[in-house]
Copies of this chain bind each other. A is one copy, B any other.
């Protein structure tokens, strides 16, 4: 067989029910994207997630958060969505073979987290004392956006790629941290310290502030809220920018190289005869020895 069947790797907690009728059907709709009804389920879920995020966001806009009628409408839609997500959660629990494993898996917790805040707010009530707590709990609903992640076929692949590159990312962060600490301290010394004491008009008010500047600068974000004002500060910061820019290429290329290699080698099986790697994905014959790859 030359056609590679598209195998969707399933997480351990969600094995397809072996025998039962409606549970198996439900499982295919909820967990498999290939099923026609499953496609409609996915589209519905996508719309529900986007609507939910939109409402959580718009509730905080000043023009809307004083408009009572609009807030009531938001509330109504919110409860409908919470209802739908609750049904989704119940169905997922009902149709997987091992409900407890699902409930304590990463996605199970995300699914629970996307309905819990709405129910908790009933018990707290809109009393003024618990304003921040209430707000914070309501904002937790934003994690519903993570459900989008599960819908992507490439999500697993990407998570794995990030996981395999974790060492390189740590190296990257340590390099940046060392550079940020030293250049932040240097700039504080140049910009804020004078012969008379600490220059209070400088924007580099403290080392943590200078480190914030260094991070904003070395990642080339460059807000411009903290900026050197003395000639010496500008000169040193120009040197630091160039140095930082040159140095940041190193670890970020380190990380990139990891991914380029992974991408190159990802789907290739070596030739059985000469063990040449890096065959094209659609190759029938080995590029080096000319033998059939599936022979």
Contacts and interface: CB of A to CB of B under 8 A. Distances in A.
Interface in A176-229: 176-178, 181-182, 185, 188-189, 192-195, 197, 200, 205-209, 211-212, 215-217, 219-225, 227
A242 interface: yes
B255 A253 contact: yes
Given A250-B161, A287-B285, A174 B152 contact: yes
B149 A178 contact: yes
Contacts of A40: none
A109 to B, nearest CB: 15
Pairs of residues from A and B, 4 with the lowest C-beta to C-beta distance, nearest first: A285-B290, A257-B263, A221-B222, A283-B287
Interface stretch (A14-22, A51-59, A89-97, A111-119): A51-59
A187 to B, nearest CB: 11
A121 interface: no
B251 A158 contact: yes
Contacts of A222: 216, 220-224
A292 to B, nearest CB: 7
A2 B165 CA distance: 24
A62 interface: yes
Contacts of A161: 250, 254
A1 interface: no
B284 A290 contact: yes
Interface residues of A, number: 113
Contacts of A62: 200, 205-206
A139 to B, nearest CB: 5
A80 interface: no
Contact of A145 (B56, B135, B177, B283): B177
A61 B208 contact: yes
Interface of A: 53, 56-62, 131-132, 135-136, 139, 142-143, 145-146, 148-149, 152, 154-155, 158, 161-162, 165, 167-178, 181-182, 185, 188-189, 192-195, 197, 200, 205-209, 211-212, 215-217, 219-225, 227, 231, 234-235, 237-238, 241-242, 245-247, 249-265, 274-292
B259 A245 contact: no
28 contacts: A57-B211, A58-B207, A58-B208, A60-B188, A60-B206, A61-B205, A61-B206, A61-B208, A139-B185, A143-B182, A148-B177, A154-B171, A158-B175, A158-B250, A169-B246, A208-B234, A221-B222, A221-B241, A223-B223, A253-B259, A257-B260, A257-B264, A276-B282, A278-B280, A278-B282, A283-B288, A284-B289, A285-B285
A151 B132 CA distance: 42
Contact of A195 (B132, B220, B224, B238): B132
